[in-house]
Structure 1
Amino acid sequence: MKIIKRSGEEVTFDRNKIYVAISKANERVDEKFRLTDAKINSIVDDIEIQCHREDHALNVEEIQDLVETGIMEHGAYQVAKLYITYRYEHELKRRKNTTDAQILSLLEENNEEVKQENSNKNPTVVSVQRDYMAGEVSKDITKRFLLDPEIAQAHEEGLIHFHDADYFAQHMHNCDLVNLEDMLQNGTVISGTKIDRPHSFSTACNIATQIIAQVASCQYGGQSISLAHLAPFVDVSRQK
């Protein structure tokens, strides 16, 4: 059974880490409020069962939510309070630097999160790694400064998925249906140069290629065009 760390790396589920985390909180409360060792193991058993039931690898935050719920279900509210405080304190520490671990996991080629984010990219290619590294910085800025805190929190908790956060900081948009017909029939402007309506099929294809290249430099994701918009220029060439 696998879980996904905050860095995006997929690792084997380790029940002992959950046991240790609960035990640390347990040791800090008054003895009369403490969980017995048997109850701690019972909580860990329940979490392990719930993880097995899921059809995907849970992330660390989801597992910690299960820990909180498990502690409270056993009536150990003092322990739960300390565990929640522990989570909060460590979250504050992580916010001071949220990109190092992700970037290192990219370089080590074991970041499962980015592999699942876009299957069209090969994270072992150097140019793709550089793009992903920049993306991690964008994600960090997006989550901490650009998104509404409620949206960022919902994303972290898995309630929603805010897609393409790795480009959001640049305020670019994703994917286009290019209005090729309008630009070919009425002319357009490319790099500050006015382009008139083409007078042949080959010229129309050349202009279409330039349009696609220009759009690609200003956005990310795919582009769609309709070849039907090139069809009228076949007849233009035929009539010459």
Structure 2
Amino acid sequence: MSSTQISIVKRDGKRVPFSMNKIKNAIRKAFLSVGSFASDDDLTNILHRVNIQEDMNVEEVQNQVERSLMAENYFAVAKSYMLYRQKHSEDRETRDRIKFLIEYCAAGMLPVEVNLMPMPMSIKKTLPHLLASFRKEILSA
């Protein structure tokens, strides 16, 4: 497979060239996170099971990597890879909520039910101050 000729679809809908190096680096980092090292043979065996197709979305590529890690009996590495993906998914969700609240405040409105929105407690505690600060900046601009 020539990775330079294949495009994948990112979460935002953009088509980008597929990069085998990004997948290899993610696998290497997952191995390192459990105190192990991915040899070239390990990478070859794992990636042999991954079937990248034109316009496949990034989530499906990552799902295939997870299944490949498990098929090769790297269960701890697969778990670490999944937890990393979950953490980043939660971070994206939190970022999107904060962006929404900032835009909401910029429009001159403040949500009354901020405390009911699911988000980490550390963000809930600092959110009123953060929003007030952004609102001042926006109104003074």
Q: Shorter-chain-normalised TM-score: which range?
A: 0.5 to 0.7
**What is the identity percentage for the equivalent residue pairs of Structure 1 and Structure 2?**
34
User: Take 1:36 and 1:69, find their aligned partners in 2: how far apart are those partners?
Assistant: 18
Return structure 1 stretches of 4+ with deviation > 3 angstroms: none
User: Take 1:44 and 1:98, find their aligned partners in 2: how far apart are those partners?
Assistant: 32
Taking structure 2 as the reference length, the TM-score comes to 0.59
Larger radius of gyration: 1
Q: Counterpart in 2 of 1:88?
A: 86
In the alignment, structure 1 residue 30 sits paired with structure 2 residue 28: no
- In the TM superposition, 1:178-189 aligns within 5 A as none
User: Take 2:40 and 2:49, find their aligned partners in 1: how far apart are those partners?
Assistant: 14
Question: Is the 8 Å Cα contact of residues 19 and 41 (structure 1) preserved in structure 2?
Answer: no
Q: Counterpart in 1 of 2:9?
A: 4
Cα RMSD between the aligned structures? 2.1
Taking structure 1 as the reference length, the TM-score comes to 0.36
Q: Give the number of equivalent residue pairs.
A: 93
Select the structure that is richer in helix.
Answer: 2
Post-superposition shift, 1:44? 2.4
Unaligned runs of 5+ in 2: 1-5, 98-117, 119-141
The one-letter amino acid of 2:31's match is N
Unaligned runs of 5+ in 1: 100-144, 146-240
The one-letter amino acid of 1:51's match is I
User: Take 1:78 and 1:98, find their aligned partners in 2: how far apart are those partners?
Assistant: 30
Q: Counterpart in 1 of 2:58?
A: 60
- Write out per-residue CA displacement over residues 170-209 of structure 1, whole angstroms, 9 at most, x where no aligned residue: xxxxxxxxxxxxxxxxxxxxxxxxxxxxxxxxxxxxxxxx
User: Take 2:38 and 2:61, find their aligned partners in 1: how far apart are those partners?
Assistant: 19
Q: Counterpart in 2 of 1:43?
A: 46
